[in-house]
Amino acid sequence: MTKKEMLIEAAKEVFGEYGYADTTFKKISERAGVAFGLLTHHFGTKENLFLLTGLEVLTDLSSRVNKAMADGDTGLASILNFCREYLAFSMDTKSHFMVLVRCSPYSDLKTRESKESIQSGFRALLHDLEASLWRGIEDGTVREVPVTETAAALLGILVGTVRTQLLTGYAPPNLYPEVLTFIERSLKRTRDCQGPDLCAHAIY
């Protein structure tokens, strides 16, 4: 591993532990065991380094959920695989997902270009969910729902669930399985659920 790679790995750990505001180049250089000056040389600013680490984590997440979705034989199965893998990724310490949990790409990043880079990654996740929702509606496994809004609601549920699990002291031990059950129950088309106004177990 090069010194630059060591700094990136250390940055992921420190951002995940301390959050953006309390992370310093000094903490990162000490964690990596690499000279402080190399941080400025390679990355320039803390924002540049956070953007790089955040995008790496987001890219890894996208790769894993896309692979999981591809294994789904129906639209609903694809959505559930997405949700299951998203939650599993959050619990994988090697994924450094805490970078995106403790640091807010929307408030910590200052420039429009930096925010847009992160937002485009999350929009890609939304588009993946939208595609699977359309697929599920067409193959009859997902009830008729407003696709754009439902995709946003699903991602919001996952983000909130992860933050509850990792950052609070009141998450029940079976939170992740129950959330997956709730999502399946909310989306699954049944004989008595033929439209957005007829299903008793809707997300909305």
CATH of the domain at 63: 1.10.357.10
The mean pLDDT of 41-52, rounded to a whole number, is 92
- Structural domain including 29 reads 1-44
pLDDT at residue 198 tops 70: no
Q: 13 and 111: one domain? A: no
The 3-state DSSP class for residue 153 equals: helix
Q: 94 and 70: one domain? A: yes
Q: 103 and 179: one domain? A: yes
Q: Does residue 199 sit within a domain?
A: no
Q: Does residue 146 sit within a domain?
A: yes
- Lookup: tokens for 8: 């990136």
pLDDT at residue 200 tops 50: no
| pTM assigned to the model | 0.88
pLDDT tens, residue by residue, 131-173: 999 999 999 999 999 999 999 999 999 999 999 999 999 999 9
> In degrees to the nearest 10, what's the CA dihedral of 135, 138, 143, 149?
50
Q: Does residue 202 sit within a domain?
A: no
The number of domains in the chain is: 2
The 3-state DSSP class for residue 149 equals: helix
The DSSP letter of residue 188 is: B
pLDDT at residue 17 tops 50: yes
Euclidean distance between CA atoms 119 and 135, whole angstroms: 24
Q: Does residue 50 sit within a domain?
A: no
Q: Does residue 110 sit within a domain?
A: yes
Q: 35 and 102: one domain? A: no
